[in-house]
Structure 1
Amino acid sequence: MPVDKEKDERSSKPREAIFCRACGNAVTSRDEKIAVGGSHAHTFFNPAGIVFELGCFRRAPGCRNAGRPTSEFTWFAGYVWRFARCSNCRAHLGWFFEGRDSTFFGLILANLQE
């Protein structure tokens, strides 16, 4: 059976991990970056006036979601959110957004390290 060398190289190529800045846990990877509303990065503020710069990611296996889904003060119309915490140290890394047809993580870029 012939071997597809190019496929083997792609599958064995290490994904470039993105880590929790607090503990070094692998949270997601560059391959998981996505655009939501036309952009990967967004700047928002919460009701307390704290400003967050978020990056959107398809998956974040190093996160655990916490809290009940809510639409209160959502930054993305049609989505409910829950907190996303580091699965290792429980640091707040951002939010998990769930819409009718899609889900994604909005992670606080200052809390990540590439």
Structure 2
Amino acid sequence: MLPPIGTRPRSWRADRRFRETGRRPASAKGRGPQSRLDQWSEEQDVIVCGVCGAAITHRDQAIQINHRHDHAFFNPAGIAFAIRCFRLAPGVAPQGEPSSEFTWFPAYQWQIVLCRTCRAHLGWLFTHTDGNPAFHGLIADRLA
């Protein structure tokens, strides 16, 4: 569940500083996937989790799949999702086994991805069955 519009997570000051400066506090540097975000240039825009404000990816990681960055799909339950495609998203972690059932991208299997910080469902990791590069489809309204 997303917080009401206009609210900020408890750690909004540190996350705002990160978005403004691109720098994490010294205690956060060099640990796991977050360190990859720390290595990216300060000038690039950080995309954060809409629930907790944790860094998820950068705008320079945006890619086009089937000639589009933004896609809209329905899942089997009829729920609509607007997703954006990214090459890397070190702020999420895949869950479960890859599945090819009801995939939105032919020849790709998907796995749910969760925010590494708050465990909110942020989208899917799509892995090509022929070994082509994987990509992340992140739910647009769950990112900030």
CA shift for structure 1 position 12: 4.9
Q: Which has the higher contact order (CA 8 A, sep 6+)?
A: 1
1:47 aligns with 2:47: no
- Structure 1 stretches of 4+ moved >4 Å: none
Change (3 A) 1:12 1:80: closer
SS in 1 for 2:105: coil
Q: Which has the higher strand share?
A: 1
The answer for the alignment partner of 1:32 in structure 2 is: 61
Residues 56-113 of structure 1 show CA distances to partners (whole Å, capped at 9, x for unaligned) of: 0000000000010000000000000000100000000000000021100000000000
If each structure's helix is expressed as a fraction of its own residues, which one has the higher value? 2
Q: Which residue is equivalent to 1:102?
A: 133
Q: Provide the residue aligned with 2:101 in structure 1.
A: 72
User: What RMSD over aligned residues (CA atoms) do the two structures have, in Å?
Assistant: 1.1
Q: TM-score with structure 2 length normalisation? A: 0.69
Where do 5+ consecutive residues of structure 1 fail to align?
Answer: 1-10
Number of residue pairs the alignment of both structures matches:
103
Find the residue that maps to 1:110 and give its secondary structure: helix
Aligned identity (percent) is 49
